[in-house]
């Protein structure tokens, strides 16, 4: 009589199949009724005893540290921000910060998530740290 087993195939994929006792793959486990729980895989690694909170934390999107100027500007527009407001914020700064920020905003090809100028502009626009993270996550997809 064949029994149902799960086993690892090439150390990468979890497989299941029916086997006669003499053909059961090495390192397999018999699946018995409702008591069987398929191992939890997290990024290709078997995780045992992990909590739902730990799974949610591990599956959080990665916040990119750098995005292109195009991606940032498009995402700001998609989020309903007027790019002219950023120019007004920059124009309100004292020199030399005004000129430095203006050059950075107009000529930078990339923006770093942790850059001070970006944090200042985000704060002036009323964007929270969490919202800025989301902007970077979504912008990276553009």
What is the model's pLDDT at position 53?
72
* Domain positions in the chain: 3-58, 66-139
For residues 85-100, average pLDDT: 94
* Chain segment 26-74, per-residue pLDDT in tens: 566 555 554 445 555 666 665 555 566 766 776 778 899 999 999 999 9
* Chain segment 4-24, per-residue pLDDT in tens: 555 555 555 555 555 566 766
Q: Which residue carries 């497989």 as its tokens?
A: 15
What is the model's pLDDT at position 35?
44
On average, the pLDDT of the chain sits at 79
- The answer to pTM > 0.85 is no
Q: Which of 108, 101, 74 is nearest to 86 (CA)?
A: 101
**Alpha carbon distance 52, 7 (integer Å):** 24
What percentage of the chain exceeds 90 in pLDDT? 54
What is the model's pLDDT at position 62?
87
For residues 76-90, average pLDDT: 95
Contact 50, 56 (CB under 8 A): no
């Amino acid at each position: 009589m064949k029994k149902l087993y799960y086993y690892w195939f090439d150390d990468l994929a979890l497989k299941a199949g029916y086997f006669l006792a003499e053909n059961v793959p090495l390192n397999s486990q018999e699946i018995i009724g409702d008591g069987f729980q398929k191992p939890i895989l997290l990024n290709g690694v078997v995780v045992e005893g992990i909590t739902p909170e730990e799974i949610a934390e591990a599956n959080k999107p990665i916040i990119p540290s750098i995005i292109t100027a195009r991606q940032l500007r498009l995402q700001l527009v998609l989020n309903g921000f007027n790019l002219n407001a950023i120019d007004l914020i920059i124009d309100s700064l004292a020199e030399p910060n005004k000129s430095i920020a203006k050059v950075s905003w107009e000529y930078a090809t990339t923006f770093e998530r942790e850059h001070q100028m970006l944090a200042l502009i985000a704060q002036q626009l009323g964007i929270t740290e969490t919202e800025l993270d989301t902007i970077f996550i979504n912008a990276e997809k553009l």
